[in-house]
Chains A and B, each alone.
Chain A
Amino acid sequence: MDILHEDYQVQYDEATATVRCSGSFRLHGDEYKPVLDLLTHAADAKPAMLTLDVRELQFLNSSGINTLSKFVLQVRKHDTSQVVVQGSTRYPWQEKSLKNLQRLLPALKLDIV
């Protein structure tokens, strides 16, 4: 189910309930569907702790922000998982924009180092 594209990768480790996104997300509209499907699959597994690791995600366009928002709303709907988003200060957009996910889910834990 992992997505391994030349420009971006999304990998789901079921054992640790972790989704890792890396590369650059510059997709448009429906191109995000496989990414969203994988994220939704991870949310629907309803683990107690669900980690979204974007430390190696260099770029995310606004359609990508929508996609991550849909994932967060899916988790909110289930109301069973604690979400941790791991980011990096290496990519300035992460400090600027990841906090917006907490608008949708205030309990979301943001871990940017």
Chain B
Amino acid sequence: MTQTFGDFVELLAGDGEYLKIGFHPSSIPLQQRWRNNGLSADFLADYLSTFFPGEDVASAERQSQIKDAVGYIANELLENCMKYSYASKQHLVSIEMFLAPEAITLYTSNGIEPACIGPFQEFIQRLLSEDIDALYTEQLERSAEDSDGSASGMGFLTMLSDYGVKIAWRFSLPSQPGDEVAVTTMVRMPL
């Protein structure tokens, strides 16, 4: 059974070109995993930029914008996976990127700590229903007052506010006791 928030567009192998990276969240210490976020995000952004050759000033500018956006968004998505993923035996963390003429679509998937699901879904509802500019400022003030600044949601808010993307989430709920909940986050960037 699944529960979806936002306009979740499902893309599968065959729906254009795609790239997928998967890894086990608990296989290496957090510090190294964190470094891996940047490497993976940069790799996706660099790889994608070859599809947008910068042959003149305008296309070089477009290439730079797309590379920068994908690098930021992929990094934030992976950081979220690392911060909130369950020490899961059932779910790998994965990031997928689909390229189509109309949009670049990124998906991350990870197991999620049961206690995190309620607050996360409440925040998702706010992201989908409230004025993003007002929510951005509210969260910026709140997270700046927060000593560790970790539970902020600023990654999603920055994507929505500054990068003009659509975000949706799909929760895969357990079919039997003991199964873990997995969440897939979709970020769709129109081209």
Contacts and interface: CB of A to CB of B under 8 A. Distances in A.
Given A26-B75, A65-B154, A103 B37 contact: no
B152 A66 contact: yes
A42 B24 CA distance: 41
Given A97-B162, A100-B136, A61 B148 contact: no
Contact of B79 (A30, A61, A67, A72): A61
Instruction: Report which residue of B72, B75, B161 has the largest number of chain A beta carbons within 10 angstroms of its beta carbon.
Output: B72
Given A69-B143, A92-B69, A97-B158, A62 B152 contact: yes
A24 B161 CA distance: 22
B71 A59 contact: yes
Contacts of A92: 64-65, 68-69
Tell me which of B141, B143, B144, B148 has the highest count of chain A C-beta atoms within 10 A of its own C-beta.
B144
A104 interface: yes
Nearest to A28: B34
Contact of A103 (B68, B136, B143, B148): B136
Interface in A71-113: 72-73, 91-93, 96-97, 100, 103-104
Interface in A37-54: none
A62 B154 contact: yes
A69 B157 CA distance: 14
A73 B141 contact: yes
Q: How large is the interface on A (under 10, 10 to 19, 20 to 34, 35 or more residues)?
A: 20 to 34
Given A61-B79, A65-B158, A96-B163, A26 B149 contact: no
Contacts, number: 81
A88 to B, nearest CB: 12
A32 B149 contact: yes
A17 to B, nearest CB: 21
Given A28-B34, A29-B149, A66-B152, A103 B137 contact: yes
B70 to A, nearest CB: 11
A70 interface: yes
Contacts of B69: 92
Nearest to B35: A26
Residue among B140, B154, B161 with the most chain A CB within 10 A? B140
A31 B30 CA distance: 12
B157 to A, nearest CB: 8
Nearest to B153: A62
Given A66-B140, A91-B68, 13 more contacts: A29-B150, A61-B72, A62-B158, A63-B79, A63-B152, A66-B152, A70-B149, A73-B145, A96-B162, A100-B158, A103-B140, A104-B141, A104-B144
Interface of B: 30, 34-35, 37-38, 64-65, 68-69, 71-72, 75-76, 79, 83, 133, 136-137, 140-141, 143-145, 148-150, 152, 154-155, 158, 161-163
